[in-house]
Amino acid sequence: MANPLAALPAVHRVLALETMGGERARYGPAAVREAVREALAGARARVARGAPIPTPEALAAEALELLTRRAAAAYPAVLNATGVVIHTNLGRAPRAGGVAPGYLALEYDLAEGTRGERLAPVVTRLVRYLGCEAATVVTNNAAALVLLLAAHAAGREVIVSRGELIEIGGSFRLPEIMAASGARLVEVGCTNRTHLEDYARVIGDATAGILVVHRSNFSLDGFVAAVGLPDLVELGRSHGVPVWVDQGSGCHLDLGRYGLRPEPTVRQIVAAGVDAVLFSGDKLLGGPQAGIVAGSRTAIAPLRRHPLRRALRPDKSALVGLAATLDCYLAERPEDVPLYRLLAAGEPSLRRRARALAARLRRAGVEAVAEATRAVLGGGTTPDQTLPSWAVTVTGGDAAAARLRRGRPPVIGRVEEGRVVLDLRAVFPEEDRMLAAAVAAALAPR
Ligand SMILES: *Cc1c(COP(=O)(O)O)cnc(C)c1O
């Protein structure tokens, strides 16, 4: 009996089809050849299990489908209807300030025609905005902490309260970050309570600094005690030991305006006299991914000289975006930062939008209702608090959520009790039409 696999069309026969000429021009000859080989490999497996021999045209169509799928946007823009405003998996804060694709005066002094200082424009803005002596910027906050510890505490001790030894998503675990940067962790206090004497007792010749860490994604309640920054700063000064604050989300405005519990702002932390404060660019600042260190000249200068710094250098688009974001704060127009535009949306306007959206979807044949919901800030900020919001909910559970994710643009909602909740807190009003169209296209009966 003849081997049925021998009857499979050869790669060159599929490639010789007239339609493949256009695909070669679009995707490149090597990619087309590879796609045909993959389609053939799939066919071979099916034929071995008894499926009929496919025609060259069928194999070409299969290869084309592979090519189109691969050519789809690497990072498609999505509509964030999750109700999580700073969603790490969806790129954290929507950023102010666009990308910088072309040439720009990045490290170039236009007046002199000589090499300029790459970070100078953002550093001058940070110094003015935060009221600090000096500042620097690296790729993200985790990198900022590594650099700070490597520059100031390698082979020496850093004191941290046991109530602040956090793990953030991914692989950020404070004790491990400290070990990786060569600092020795000295834990003080208990999980729920740490006192000034706990710090005072362990300060010695080997102490490089005291590190205070924002709890970010969890909160402590009940019988708790922590030391206030002014007391720690005084303790540090009296022993000649610097105090550093990893503020993580880095608050910039009175969160009370948005119905959240207020937190000290980065400016206030600087004013409390700490040696350095570290925070992310893409959490509460509402800018691009970046790690910002602000503080005294003594704290910042060794960071600028450290060899690791070159490895942690932010990209030009991040610097352009960061400068644009800082300009919003300097001009006292935080509402120009997209994140705060989302947070400032009042309940009545969210309700109005949700009702209009639901009505539009019902007209398209989708079973949709407007409902009051609670959204969250997310991104390791305000973990135990929620924001009032409104959503459109549709039926269909996981299957409907999956169809929405495959839509154009993809719509990401959350599934609750068999329904998909499309929360409007992180959707900009100008996206409502697009949201309605994408939901109708994905879910309307045909
Ligand atoms: C989020 C966070 C980090 C990590 O910041 P990235 O910018 O994501 O690297 C570090 N420390 C704290 C306290 C945080 O909340």
CATH number of the domain residue 243 falls in: 3.40.640.10
Same-domain check for residues 63 and 86: no
Q: Last residue of some domain: 336, 354, 372?
A: 336
Give percent of the chain above pLDDT 70.
99
Show Cβ contacts of residue 57 under 8 Å, excluding neighbours closer than 6 positions.
17
Residue pair 285/279 in contact by the 8 Å Cβ criterion: yes
Q: Do 198 and 119 belong together in one domain?
A: yes
Task: Give residue 281 CA to ligand 1 midpoint distance, Å.
Answer: 10
User: In the structure, what pLDDT confidence band is assigned to residue 1 with cuts at 50, 70 and 90?
Assistant: low
On whether both 21 and 152 belong to a single domain, the answer is no
236-to-58, 59, 208, 293 alpha-carbon distances in Å: 74, 72, 10, 19
In terms of average pLDDT, the best of 171-175, 273-277, 376-380 is 273-277
The answer to whether residues 193 and 264 belong to one domain is: yes
Q: What is the reported pLDDT for 298? A: 98
Residue 104 has pLDDT above 80, yes or no: yes
Average pLDDT over residues 70-83: 91
Q: What is the residue with the minimal CA distance to atom 12 of ligand 1?
A: 248
> Which one, of 164, 254, 278, lies nearest residue 216 by Cα?
164
| pLDDT score at 11 | 94
Q: Which of 329, 377, 355 is nearest to 432 (CA)?
A: 355
Distance CA 79, CA 183 (A): 42
Residues 176-189 have a mean pLDDT of 96
Q: Are 174 and 257 within one domain?
A: yes
Q: Model confidence at 171, in pLDDT bands (50, 70, 90)?
A: confident
Please work out whether the CB of residue 214 comes within 6 Å of at least one atom of ligand 1. Answer: yes
CA distances from 326 to 202, 275, 339 (A): 39, 21, 13
Ligand 1 near 168 CB (within 6 A): yes
Calculate the alpha carbon distances from 157 to 184, 276, 310, 432 in Å.
5, 17, 25, 53
Arithmetic mean of pLDDT over the chain:
94
The domain boundary, picked from 313, 336, 359, lies at 336
pLDDT at 214 over 70: yes
pLDDT at 284 over 90: yes
Residues 276 and 357 in one domain: no
Determine if the peptide bond prior to 409 is cis (ω within 30°).
yes
Cα–ligand 1 centroid distance for 186 (angstroms): 21
Any atom of ligand 1 within 6 Å of the Cβ of 246:
yes
User: Do residues 218 and 353 both lie within one domain?
Assistant: no
Q: Both 201 and 255 in a single domain? A: yes
Instruction: Report whether pLDDT(429) > 60.
Output: yes
Distance CA 279, CA 381 (A): 12
Rounded to whole angstroms, how far apart are CA atoms 13 and 132? 69
Confidence of residue 402 (pLDDT cuts 50, 70, 90): very high
Residue 230: per-residue pLDDT? 97
pLDDT at 396 over 70: yes
CATH no. for residue 368?
3.90.1150.180
If DSSP codes are grouped into helix, strand and coil, which group holds residue 80?
strand
For residues 252 and 262, give the distance between their C-alpha atoms in angstroms, rounded to a whole number.
Answer: 10
Please state the pTM of the whole predicted model: 0.90
> Residue 73 above 90 pLDDT?
no
Minimal-distance CA residue to ligand 1 atom 14: 248
Residues 61 and 166 in one domain: no
Cβ 288 under 6 angstroms from ligand 1: no
248 lines ligand 1 (CB under 6 A): yes
Range of the structural domain that residue 306 is part of: 108-336
Type of residue numbered 40: L
- CB of 140 within 6 A of ligand 1: the answer is yes
Of 211, 280, 381, which is best to mutate to test ligand 1, by the most ligand atoms within 8 angstroms of its C-beta? 280
> Is residue 329 predicted with pLDDT exceeding 80?
yes
Cα 336 to Cα 41, 330, 332, 344, distances in angstroms: 53, 11, 9, 11
pLDDT value at position 110? 93
What region, left, alpha or beta, does residue 43 occupy, with left being phi > 0 and alpha being psi -120 to 50 degrees? Answer: alpha
37 belongs to a structural domain:
yes
What are the residue ranges of helices labelled H in 224-279? 229-239, 266-271
